[in-house]
Amino acid sequence: MTFNDILQLFVTKDKRFFPLFINSAENIVKAATMLVDLTHEDDPEERKIIAHRIKECETAGDQITDNIINELIDAFVTPFDRNEIHDLAEDMDSLLDCIRDSSKKIVIYQPKTNSKKIAEIAEYILKDAEIVLDIVGRLENLRKQTKELDKLCDDIKDIEHTVDDLYESYMSNLFACEKDAIELVKKKNIIQAFEDTSDCAKRLSSTIRSIVVKNG
């Protein structure tokens, strides 16, 4: 048991972090929603506009993460281990970065056609973001929500498995059917970014599960 763990037995826990985590998650949902819109947009200029809005979310997310770290430095007693708070903040920021990277890939490569499977993966990324928002809204009452939180982490893991299947199916079809080598490279790199985003969400869920196991 760490010194911080001992203090938490006697001192009122600092709740300033929970609203910041919720703000971060809401920002991720906003970016993921626009990523879905981007996968349905075929106009290059409109794609750039949407991607720029996602970049604005990334910038806002960086500020929220900085706020969490600054609060962590100032806090005397934290609701759970300092390293756990830091890891959660960084993993949430990484998920937002991955969403931003996925949007950049579409704008950079400007594929000739939209893919239904990529759009479907974007919908799953949005579901991940919505689950993360649900999760962080429950963290303040973590000990009363352990089963629910564990189930939500499982939901993200299940989504990652589904996205893996979509990715493998898409890649197999791409190499079998796409005759334009340039388009093949474009589409391969785009879907890789989306699959990486799903993986990032799963890593975030693992961090959350670790917090739940330790503090539940």
What is the reported pLDDT for 78?
Answer: 84
pLDDT of residue 86: 95
Intervals of the chain under pLDDT 50: 3, 6-12
- The whole-number pLDDT of residue 14 equals 56
- pLDDT for residue 1: 52
Domain made up of 14-215: CATH architecture? Up-down Bundle (1.20)
The DSSP-derived string for the chain is --HHHHHHTTSPPP-THHHHHHHHHHHHHHHHHHHHHHHT---HHHHHHHHHHHHHHHHHHHHHHHHHHHHHHH-SS-SS-HHHHHHHHHHHHHHHHHHHHHHHHHHHH--SS--HHHHHHHHHHHHHHHHHHHHHHHGGGGGGSHHHHHHHHHHHHHHHHHHHHHHHHHHHHHHHH---HHHHHHHHHHHHHHHHHHHHHHHHHHHHHHHHHHH-
pLDDT at position 6 is 44
